[in-house]
Homo-oligomer: A and B are copies of this chain.
């Protein structure tokens, strides 16, 4: 049940499956060098493995405890949270002018993977605060920044995001919470929000709620939404805490997993209105929320990567320990470790390959976000479009496989996997939410097809696919026996991805929107397989050229080969579904389905 942060795999991914090394060498991240990066990863890995990981089971067993409007967090959580803040992790990626360390998204991604792998229920709270820091830094007034932002950067307070209402899940048009101008520059808010992660807890003495609401004279729809900062306790001029605000946690959900993370129903303004301050401009709240949510999607993807990694580690340890039956490869006494049985080898290798492929996608996305910020002109636009393109892949594919891998982990444990004390089932339960929150994976697929593919008239995705093609050609040209059919399979997957892409671009372009939407989910999977396979192949090429003959190099090559020969094989079927499945999907009326 322990977790060993995969520091060297993460470093390898950053250095050899992305162009980060080049950026570091060119000084594009200021003081951040490869050595410093390695040192930070090492320290983060230590904290994740030694301090956070032991919280995971406790949180699941104890739950965040709700009573009389207050939430008490599980045993030990506040102590570890405070140590985490004291070590400076809360402000890792925050701007230096507000007390942060100003490190790039790649470092945020790597550390977030580790916090969330160690304990997803613990990691998700700080994840939301990271997003709020970006929103405050980009959009809030200097006064609001001074009052709140520095406390969030230090971790002294945490923040929440209040979007969902009972009648409005993913549809912001239906938002009803209202805000009234108080006349003194502040506002009064009235409404109910549901599914508010860390809406109430005792890790920090104050909580800053970021709440979407409508002003009385706001236009209808999403152009009439504003964002407000609503603190749990009002803050005095000197920064000390004042009176309790007019808000209350009315309920905490009983969920399938992440039991340590309190998912709250929040009531604002049951008395005379919750006091809030505008963040950004009136009726421009959506832009602020997107600032907050954009990296959140990547980080949720990393929850998928992290939980896949952790489930893999646990399953491998169990499979080496557990003995059953005989195996041709076992010359020892008695029964063979189940890790030697071919079917279990396949399961373990699948877990690892999916975890590594999704990591490659997420870190490529993080690189693109960073490059979109630091590159100028056309290059900057290209990288921004790349980040836009990869974000739904990073979020949806990684969380899909996080759950799949956790399920394989349960299966490897056999009957023990179904018993809660083993811990394998917790990963399954915890991982399931990541496919849903921050925009369900179906919505990610729609975003990919409707907004990301058409970027620059399709040239953004075409340029990306052509880069992947270069990797496939290089892998094919390497002619190494240990590469197996990496090049061949990757080229075939890219053929499929290109055909599906062009089909979808035509469908969207010609207004056959329903047909395009029908294939969105299998297309996201197809493009992710190609992207992940190419990332792994890039790593295999680097490992091969390093020629150090180490076990790690052989392992990276094997992972890429296994993925190509056993997982990329799905590409043809996915393409066929995208290009030929729409008619029977669109015919699936509720009446027909229930006939």
A residues neighboring B (CB under 8 Å) = 164, 168-171, 173-174, 194-195, 253-257, 316, 319-320, 324-325, 328-329, 335, 337, 339-349, 352, 403, 407, 410-411, 414-415, 417-421, 425, 428-429, 432-433, 435-437, 440-442, 445-446, 484-485, 513-515, 517-518, 520-521, 550-552, 554-555, 558, 561-562, 565-566, 569-574, 576-577, 580-595
Contact = CB atoms under 8 A, between A and B. Distances in A.
A230 to B, nearest CB: 21
A340 B440 CA distance: 17
Given A552-B595, A577-B566, A420 B328 contact: no
Q: What 5 A-B pairs come out closest when comparing CB atoms?
A: A555-B595, A551-B595, A569-B573, A342-B517, A349-B588
A590 B339 contact: yes
Given A254-B419, A573-B570, A441 B411 contact: yes
A412 B1 CA distance: 31
A214 B547 CA distance: 56
B343 A429 contact: no
A340 B591 CA distance: 11
Given A437-B415, A573-B573, A584-B561, A595 B554 contact: yes
A558 B419 contact: no
Contacts of A565: 577, 580-581, 583-584
A425 B584 contact: no
B573 A343 contact: no
Contacts of A407: 403, 432
Contacts of A588: 345-346, 348-349, 558, 562
B346 A590 contact: no
Contacts of A428: 256, 432
Given A352-B593, A593-B316, A571 B569 contact: no
Nearest to A336: B171
Contacts of A585: 342, 345-346, 349, 562, 566
A171 B584 contact: no
